[in-house]
Amino acid sequence: MFKKGEKEIFRISLIISLLFILLSGCSGPSPEENIYTIFEKVVTLEDPFKEQQQPLKELEKKESELYNEIMDIGLKDFDKVVALSNEAVTVLEDRETRIEAEYESIKASKEEFELVNKEIEKIKDEKLAEKAKEIKTTMENRYSAYESLFDSYKTSISYDKELYTMLQKEDLTIEELEAQIKKVNDTYKIVMQQNDVFNELTEEYNKLKMEFYENASLNVDESK
């Protein structure tokens, strides 16, 4: 049995222990750690986007080869031109499917990234909060750049399809062909420019992200 004084000491110790447990349970991860979790989830969600890059390059190369072969044949073998044009359209449809998969990956990434807003508001360190806001702005610009790139890429595919459909017309004029080729080339230039902007923003985001991790004293694997 406890004596009176011992009971009081035991009661106080028990209360302190319970308070410690409750406080430990409520503290949870810091805003910086939650931001890290969001950023790394974004990386995972963009894996399907990365997986489309090489197949898209190969399809673009295949279509370019078909186009060059068609141009070399010219008017010498109309049936061959039609067959190659149909093959090129199939390649374009494959490209379209892959760019759609790429877009879905970026869309999922964007939805996850938006969770960072409420965590930034909780950061107490002013400089660290500013760095997080800079990352947020950069990433939002990156998503916006991708939207423009995606739209232009889809437009370029539609113009390519129009071109290969035109090449199956026996009464196609040189003027019609040249006008369509110009549309294709002009759009392709826009795609290349927008792709450069997207890549630059991606590099900037990754740089700022690693700086944030370092400033927040988060131990991370930089090879990711």
DSSP state of 87: H
Residue 106 or residue 76, greater confidence? 106
Residue 218 or residue 180, greater confidence? 180
Confidence of residue 28 (pLDDT cuts 50, 70, 90): confident
Mean pLDDT of 150-177: 96
Domains in the chain and their CATH numbers? 29-215 (1.20.120.570)
pLDDT at position 128 over 60: yes
The fraction of the chain above a pLDDT of 70, given in percent, is 85
Joined together, the tokens standing for residue 205 give: 């985001």
pLDDT at position 202 over 70: yes
Radius of gyration of the chain from Cα atoms? Answer: 29
Residue 23's pLDDT is what? Answer: 43
CB atoms within 10 A of CB 95: 23
Residue 15's pLDDT is what? Answer: 46
Q: Is 61 helix (H, G, I), strand (E, B) or coil?
A: helix
Please name which of 158, 145, 142 lies closest in space to residue 194, comparing C-alpha atoms: 145
C-alpha–C-alpha distance, residues 129 and 164, integer Å: 52
pLDDT at position 24 over 90: no
Residue 165's pLDDT is what? Answer: 96
Residue 83's pLDDT is what? Answer: 97
Mean pLDDT of 76-88: 95
Residue 14's pLDDT is what? Answer: 44
The string of pLDDT tens digits covering residues 163-174 is 999 999 999 999
Q: Are 53 and 101 in contact (CB under 8 A)?
A: no
pLDDT at position 4 over 60: no
Confidence of residue 181 (pLDDT cuts 50, 70, 90): very high
Q: Are 181 and 163 in contact (CB under 8 A)?
A: yes
Half-sphere exposure of 183 (CA within 13 A, CB side): 15
Please name which of 99, 197, 205 lies closest in space to residue 156, comparing C-alpha atoms: 99
Residue 133's pLDDT is what? Answer: 97
How many angstroms separate the Cα of 160 from the Cα of each of 44, 68, 177, 191, 192? Answer: 33, 13, 12, 13, 16
